[in-house]
Amino acid sequence: MASTSPSGVKLEIGHVLFIDIVGYSKLLITEQSELLRRLSDVVRETEQFRSAEAEGKLVRLPTGDGMALVFRNSPEAPVLCAMEIAKALKNHPKLRVRMGVHSGPVNEISDLNEQANIAGAGINIAQRVMDCADAGHILLSKHVAEDLEHYPQWQPCLHDLGECEVKHGVRMSVVNFYTDELGNPDLPEKLRRAKEMQTTPAAPASDAKPARRSRTLIAALVIAAAAAAVGFYVFTHQPSSKPILEKSIAVLPFDNLSRDPDNAYFCEGVQDEILTRLAKVADLKVISRTSTQHFKSTPENLPDIAKQLGVTNILEGSVQKASDRVRVNVQLINALTDAHLWADTYDRKLTDIFAVESEIAKSIAEMLQARLTGSEKSSIARTPTVNPEAYELYLKGRFFAEKRTGADLRKSIEYYDQAIAKDPGYPLAYVGLADSNLLLSAYGTTSPKESITPGKAALKKALELDDSLAQAHASSGLLATLELDPYRAISELERAIQLNPNYATAHHWLARPLMAIGQSSRAIAEGKRAIELDPLSLIINADFCWVYFNARRYVEAEAQARKTLEMDPRFPAAHYDLGGALQFKGKLTEAIAEFQKSADLNNDDQYSLAMLGQAYARQGKTDEAQKVLARIREQAKSQYVSPYGLAIVLTALGNKAHAIDELERGYDDAGFYISLIKVDPFFDDLRGDPRFEALVQKVVGAK
C-alpha cells in the first residue's frame, strides 16, 4: 500500500531484483551490446516477468551493465524470477551475472527525458546487496530472507553470510540463496577477503588458495548437515540422489491377529493413528500411509523397503481385538543396520486405544531423539473421538474415499454421516465428509456447485470443533480451489503444512492453486515434496505429471506419467496425463492411443473423451472429433458434464467463440479443471482474445 512521506513523496513497497553482468566494463562495445540483448531476452522470457508485466505490476530500469526489476505484486516474485534467470543462464555460459534482492520503499519519478521512472531506498539497497556478490550468486537482504524463512519450501535455500561492508563503509547483513541446482554456494570474494583479514591478517599470499579450499570444504560440510536437518530441498535431482535422514520413519501395515476379518478396518486405523501423530512432529520425516500400504506387515527385505521409501527406520506391529479389549505389539527397527531399537506390548480396554497410540508415538519420537515442541506434545496426546463405534465408521468411510471413484465416494459419505451421528463432536469425520463431497465433482458426475454446499457446511463444523486440525485447513484449501479463489487456497494449505509438515496431501493440493496463478516453480517444489512424503501414491504421482504439463515441461511430464504407469499400468489418470505430454511433444498419434486407454479404463468418462475429441480435431479428423463431441453432449442429458471438456474440443475445432461461451459457463459452475486456464496449454489458441483474457483475470484474480 502506498503512503506519503513527511516530504510529500508518495512511497510504496517495491520488491527489487538488481542484475549486473560480471566483467562488463572489460568487454568490447559490440560484446557489451550482445550480452545486454541476451540478458534482456532471458529476463523477458521468465514467467515472473511476463506475469507481473501483464498485470501492470512491474517496472524495468536499465542500469548500463544490467537492469533492475521492481515487482509490485509479491515479495517472492524477484526471488522466483532470479531462479528462472539462473536456470536459463545455464544455456548461456558466457553470460555471467550476479543478482541482489531487497524489498523496500520506492517512489515514482520523471527522468530527464520526462519518462516515468522509479527510485528510492529499496533500489539502492538491492544494488548494494548485489555488489557483495560474485558471478552466479543470488544474494538477499536480511529483510527479504526473514520474510521467506517463514515458509518451509524456502528455508533450505537460505544461508546466512553475516555482514558485508558496502558503499561508504556501511555494513549490511546478507543471505546467500541457492539450491542444489541453482545459485552459487561459494562464499563471495568480498566476504572471504574480509574474513581472512580478521582471522589471518599476516598470512602470506601463497597460503590464500589452500585456506580458501579448506573453508570451502568446511562450508560444504556445514551446508550438507544443515540440509539433512531440514529434511528436504526445494529443487532436487532424482529422489535417489538424496541422503536418507536418520530421523525418518515408515509405519508398515499392522498384522490383524483378530479372528474377525472385519477388524481389518480397526487394525488399519491403529497404524494410521500412530503415523498421523508422528507426522505432526516437524523434526521427523514420516511417510504417508498410502505408500506404506503397498508392503506386508512383516516383510523380509526391510533394507529394500526403507530405500524405496527414503527412510532409516521402520515400525512393525500387530493388533488383536476381542470384545472390549485390545492388544497392540510394536517394534522399531533401524532398517539399514537391522538393529532392533525398541519394542513393547500394550494390553488395554478398547476405550483406551487412543492413549495407547499416543504413548507409542511419543516413545518413537523420543527414541529417534526428535525435538518436540509444546504444541506437538499436546497434538500427539489429543483424542479424536471418545466413541469407538464412531471411530470404526470413520475408518470405513476413509477406506472407500481412498478408492477415488464416484460410487465409492458416495459410499464413504454414508459412513462419515453415520460416524457423525454416533459422535457429533468428531472433527475428522466432518473433514472426511467435506473431502468426499468436494472430490465428487472431479471423480463423479456431480457439479461443483452441488459439491460445494455440503462440503462447506461440513468444514465449517470441523473448524468450529478444532481450528488446529491440519486436515481441516487443507480441505478448506481444496474448497477454495474449487471456488476459484487461489490465494485463499494457498493461505489455507500453507496453514495446514505449518500445522503438519509431513501431510503429503496438503503439499499435493497446494501445487494446483500455485500453478493456477502461474507460480510453476513453487508448484513443482510442492509436488516433489508430496512425492517425498508419499512416494507410492498413484494420484500424487499422476497429478505431479499435470503440474509439469502446465509448466510446459513436457519431457518431465512424460517421464513422470511413465513412472506412475510402472506402479499401475491400469491407472486411468496416468494415461490421460501421458497423452497430454505426448501431444505437446508432437506425438499426436501416440497421444490419441493414451487418451483412448484412459477412456476405456474409466468407463468413457467425459474428460478422457474430451481429450480424445480435441486430439482428433488437431489431427485433422474433424468427423471423428464431432462424433466424440456428440457423445459428450449425449452424456449431458443424464449427468453433469463440465463445460471445460466441451471448451477444449470446441477450441481444437476452431470454434473459439463457442469455446469461450462454455468457459464462461464453467466459471459460473466453478471447479478444479477451469482453475488452470491461465496456464493450460490446451487454450493457447484463445489467448489474446479480450473475452478469454477477461475470464482469466476473473478466475485467478483476488476475490
How confident is the model at residue 392, as a pLDDT?
A: 85
pLDDT on residue 297: 61
Closest CA to 301 of 344, 333, 265, 267: 333
What are the structural domains, with CATH classification, of the chain? 11-195+209-230 (3.30.70.1230), 248-381 (3.40.50.10070)
Q: Is the model more confident about 300 or about 104?
A: 104
34-88 pLDDT, tens digit each: 888 899 999 999 999 998 888 888 888 887 788 999 998 888 999 999 999 999 9
The better pLDDT of the pair 65, 419 is held by 419
Query: What would the mean pLDDT of 384-409 be, rounded to a whole number?
Result: 86
Query: What integer pLDDT is reported at residue 170 of this predicted model?
Result: 67
- pLDDT-based confidence at 117, cuts 50/70/90? low
- Using pLDDT thresholds of 50, 70 and 90, give the confidence band for residue 608: very high
Lowest mean pLDDT among 313-322, 436-445, 593-602, 632-641: 436-445
Is the per-residue pLDDT at 169 higher than 70? no
How far is C-alpha 361 from the geometric centre of its chain's CA atoms? 27
pLDDT of the residue at 290: 83
Position 419 pLDDT exceeds 80? yes
Residue 109 has pLDDT above 80, yes or no: no
Give pLDDT, residue 278: 93
From CA 68, how far away is CA 99, in angstroms rounded? 9
Mean pLDDT for 240-268 is: 76
Q: DSSP letters along 502-535, please?
A: T-HHHHHHHHHHHHHTT-HHHHHHHHHHHHHHST
Closest among 128, 106, 127, 105 to 118, alpha carbons compared: 106
Residue 4's pLDDT band (cuts 50, 70, 90): very low
- Is the pLDDT at 102 greater than 80? The verdict is yes
pLDDT of residue 661: 96
pLDDT for residue 613 is more than 70: yes
pLDDT of residue 211 exceeding 70: no
- Selection from 172, 100, 176, 89 nearest residue 131 by Cα: 100
The model's confidence at residue 180, banded by pLDDT at 50, 70 and 90, is confident
pLDDT on residue 226 = 39
What average pLDDT score do residues 434-440 get?
93
Check: CB of residue 625 under 8 Å from CB of residue 616: yes
262 band by pLDDT with thresholds 50, 70 and 90: low
* Long-range contacts formed by 225-231: CB under 8 A, 24+ apart: 226/156, 226/159, 227/156, 230/155, 230/156, 231/285
Residue with cell 474440443: 649
Helix axes 47-54, 77-88, angle to 10 degrees: 140
Candidate from 92-96, 409-413, 563-567 with smallest mean pLDDT = 92-96
**Residue bearing the bigger pLDDT, 74 or 494:** 494
- Residue 235 pLDDT greater than 50, yes or no: no
Of the ranges 37-46, 104-113, 194-203, the best mean pLDDT one: 37-46
Residue 108 pLDDT greater than 80, yes or no:
no
Q: What does the pLDDT read at residue 243?
A: 54
pLDDT at 183: 93
Grid cell locating 343: 519394542
E strand or H helix that includes residue 665:
helix 656-669
- pLDDT at res. 447: 86
Distance CA 452, CA 467 (A): 20
pLDDT of residue 300: 67
The predicted model gives 229-243 an average pLDDT of 37
In this model, does residue 111 exceed pLDDT 50?
no
Given a cut of 90, is residue 205 above it in pLDDT? no
Return the C-alpha cell found at 303. 533394507
